[in-house]
Amino acid sequence: MSAPDTVTLAAGCKVNLHLRLTGRLDNGYHSLESLFVPLAAPTDTLTLTFGPQGGPFALTCSDPALEGKANTVARAWRAFCAATGLAPALAVRLDKGVPTGAGLGGGSADAALVLRELNARAGARALAPAALARLGASIGADVPFFLGRGPAWAEGIGDALAPVELALAGLALVVLCPPEQVGTAWAYAAWDAAHPGGADPHCSLTWTKERFKSSPCSLPPLYNSFEEVVFPAHPNLRRYKEKLLLDGACGAVMSGSGASVLGLFRDALQAENCARGFREASVRAFVHCF
């Protein structure tokens, strides 16, 4: 590693336009099929200051509650050091823009960014892409996706990824980040309790990566298995979805295990007007035009 230096990087997020839970595994994880789409906003900002080998790791965050050893950034540094034998001093300042408990994968994006930067500085000890992805999966199922660059169809626990090209040109996406938070562990437990058989029976359309070989591909149905258990516990999220549709969205769905909700619009101006209305009601709203 080089002499001490500082770099500031932006970590975006992702949305799930389709998420179907297909089974519960013996190790406690769940198998799924999902369509991941990366977004540049909302964004976390990470300022990384590197020092010499053998130095300490330190993390400060705009949300002090996230500064512990369980933070994905801290886990990424420890995992990379263990895998490569390198131990560069690293001080991280994390300024959160991606809300926690929103289903947008902010923590996984942060971990992926740190892994990528560490690997770029590792010289001869740098990990091959497949090895880096496996390391990322040990931190979080979504981390391998953020090590890539574009939309992907995900299977397995979300780590079996196939890049896809989507026919999204001309569409606008409104992403709502309400003040509510939905715990991922709670959402999975609630879904398990509602589905003793371990699979979602309500979405009969089966999409696999084979469906994406013709490029570009149309979208699978906007669907999220978690809505069944999250909406009764958080009725405002159902109302946000309904409002997106009333405001002209051609489709709306919750992302991840919640609490973010998104709507696809065919008209960018209509999307901007919808987002403005939510902001006036104190709900954070972002617009992404494809």
Within the chain, residue ranges assigned H as helices are 72-84, 106-120, 129-139, 143-147, 184-194, 227-233, 235-246, 268-280
CA distances for 139 relative to 132, 164, 178, 184, 247, angstroms:
11, 24, 26, 15, 39
26 is catalytic: no
Catalytic residue, chosen from 14, 200, 241, 243, is 14
* Selection from 112, 102, 98 nearest residue 140 by Cα: 112
Please say whether the beta carbons of 71 and 59 come within 8 A. yes
Using alpha carbons only, give the angle 283, 150, 84 rounded to the nearest 5 degrees.
105
Helix 129-139 and helix 72-84, axial crossing angle in degrees, nearest 10: 140
Give me the DSSP letters along 230-252.
HHHH-HHHHHHHHHHHHTT-SEE
Catalytic residue, chosen from 110, 142, 159, 200, is 142
247 is catalytic: no
> Which is it for the CA torsion 135, 139, 140, 146, positive or negative?
negative
> Mind telling me the catalytic residues?
14, 142
